[in-house]
Amino acid sequence: MTTGPAKPVAESLIELPADPKDARSGAAWGRLWVARANAAAGEKRPDGYDPWGRGTFRPYGLAGHALGLQDRK
């Protein structure tokens, strides 16, 4: 991770295709790291990943959130 104060990352940093079938693994990996960085920066909103899609990117958001909480401790 980075040194210094953690700052939240904009979700729009990782663009997602309109059709989930066109998504690649990099999009999921990027969303995981966005969620991890935001949780490490102090965000406490695991329900905020619901719009990412239950069967597509939401699980990566939840996993990243859990890892970010561990990073913060």
Give the C-alpha separation, 45 to 4, whole Å: 23
Domain residue extents for the chain: 24-72
| 73 residues of the chain, pLDDT tens digit each | 555 557 888 888 888 778 878 888 888 899 999 999 999 998 888 888 888 888 888 999 999 999 999 988 7
DSSP 14: S
pLDDT at 35: 93
pTM: 0.81
Name the H helices within 8-57. Answer: 25-40
pLDDT at 43: 85
Do residues 34 and 13 touch, judged by C-beta distance below 8 A? yes
Instruction: Give the Cα-Cα-Cα angle 17, 56, 46 (nearest 5 degrees).
Output: 110
Q: Is 42 helix (H, G, I), strand (E, B) or coil?
A: coil
